[in-house]
Structure 1
């Protein structure tokens, strides 16, 4: 049994993670800005208030826990105004820096610090270029944010000797949230299809495997540094659209022009108009068995087919 402190516990990934931690007998405290909502969503977990942008009494929650899993961060799928860019940066880099400060002040420090990261680290890349954890960072706003985010996470190990893992999470699908909710909406109205030419590669992963890989990183002391949290079978935008259409029994022929996406999202359009072929090499080396490695069966499990 471990005592685990979780941020972002009431989010799409966090809810599944907290449920599995509790099911295996761990004691979980969730840091949240909305204690009532979090307690209702996470029965069995202890909740505590935090202001992720400032030091406070929440620092005391760090002292004595076995591990911290830091998943908090503002959504990126929105137009990147200057204010939105600041929120994206601060909610990742500043909160991670503050968590490191709290760990530094703890009398009994955790043995592991698992911090969310993203495949955005690699930036937009050609579809035929395979990327493992040793690949160089890419270019652009998101890549720059993730590089700085991971630097803040690594500093916890460099300064305080706490094992640090950076979870480079791909496009997460699952029931009740995540990217899939937005992806399936047009299909319900028979308007589904790929974005642009559909050649961009989507490094997706089922939420069950996100949780599974986080638990692997939590329990296995050999895991440190970057860990690609993606399916071993990435798919193109065209393939994703066809798979969703097949499972929902809807057509998938109506392409969304890239220019329309850029008009609506501005620079943030790169999230859906570009991609990267990310391979979970480290997970495979560690012997992780993916629960949902193939796209169509993963979608069928979500839709009950």
Structure 2
């Protein structure tokens, strides 16, 4: 297949591109600045979102569009200016992709759009699946994801199957949240974050990219799909498991109020949480490579 990725140079995008190339797909990477050839004739960089860009000809014949573009939510304190950038970067990329799709002579089969479990809001008691109508949260992250999915859902009006990958905490050795969580443990200062009872719905990066490939090949799947491992844990359980894998103590608590003072609204990512299950992936037959946290962390830190 010919697959076009927006945000292909980011954390998930780089891992996904490797997976797609292993499966013999042709990959277009949408970029603001054109890059030279990397020697692989199955990768093509296509300029977009610039005044002089004209990507239509290069994107004609695309089977699957994957949108991972957007300002990182982990890049710093959520000031009003930063919150605006987080939201508008996501909406602008979706709008431009929809504009491109509307002008293509042959429509793609599918749009796979990044999303986040933050849409559900936080809870210590509820269990969130794609099928249960829990309503959505009322915080900044929930509202951002809701608008993001609403905009992307317009692709269905053009006859394009639309999937929202609601990512949990993605575990990887070099990027994402795990290196920041692991750092104090490596320094012998790790311990419970907040009260430790908040849920952490995690997923190994390998299951992210294999899960996206699974969705590409299973056209009956559409709408929201939770990208979390089937066995979420509390933050205290996560810390104890991480400490065991790293052979470090789990002893020095980090009070929730201190994190809220330090990080402001962004602290909700670690102080609060939600228990999210990947019901759609499981019901459609996806087999997780890493459903057990200890095995996932051992793989990452081996």
Shorter-chain TM band: over 0.9
Question: Does the 8 A contact of 2:49 with 2:96 survive in 1?
Answer: no
Deviation at 1:51, TM superposition (A): 2.4
Rounded Cα–Cα distance in structure 1 between residues aligned with 2:258 and 2:231: 29
Spell out the pairing of 1:114-125 with structure 2 (5 A cutoff): 114-125=112-123
2:62 maps to 65
1:1-305 matches, within 5 Å, as 2-36=1-35, 45-51=43-49, 56-77=53-74, 78-126=76-124, 128-134=125-131, 135=133, 136-157=135-156, 159-304=157-302
Structure 1 residues 204, 41: closer, same or farther in 2, change over 3 A? farther
Shift of 1:34: 4.5
Quote the Cα distance in structure 1 between the aligned partners of 2:185 and 2:207: 25
Given that 1:5 and 1:31 are in contact with CA atoms closer than 8 Å, whether structure 2 keeps it comes out as: yes
TM-score (ref. length: structure 1):
0.93
In structure 2, C-alpha distance between the alignment counterparts of 1:217 and 1:109, rounded to whole Å: 18
Q: CA deviation at 1:194?
A: 2.1
Structure 2 segments unaligned to the other structure (5+ residues): none
Name structure 1 gaps, 5 residues minimum.
none
Bigger shift: 230-239 or 256-265? Answer: 256-265
State the superposition RMSD in angstroms.
1.9
State the Cα deviation string for residues 181-237 of structure 1 (Å, max 9, x = none): 111111111111121111110110000111111111111110110000100000111
Alignment CA distance shift 1:59-1:274 (3 Å): farther
Separation (CA, whole Å) in 2 of partners of 1:168 and 1:72:
14
- The change in CA–CA distance for 1:82 and 1:55 in structure 2 (over 3 A counts) is farther
1:14 deviates by 1.1
User: What's the secondary structure of 1:226's corresponding residue?
Assistant: strand
Q: Could you tell me whether the CA contact under 8 Å between 1:124 and 1:139 is conserved in 2?
A: no
Q: Is the 8 A contact 1:137 1:143 kept in 2?
A: yes
Contact in 1 for aligned 2:121/2:274 (Cα 8 Å): yes
1:79-130 deviation per Cα after TM superposition (whole angstroms, max 9, x unaligned): 111110111101112211221111111111111000000000101122x311
Q: What is the alpha-carbon distance in structure 2 between the residues aligned to residue 189 and residue 114 of structure 1?
A: 39
Give the Cα–Cα distance (whole angstroms) in 1 for the partners of residues 230 and 41 of structure 2. 33
Superimposed CA distance per residue, residues 163-191 of structure 1 (whole angstroms, 9 cap, x where no aligned partner): 00000010000232121111111111111
8 A contact 1:63–1:103 mirrored in 2: no
Q: Secondary structure at the match of 1:74?
A: coil
* Count of matched residue pairs: 299
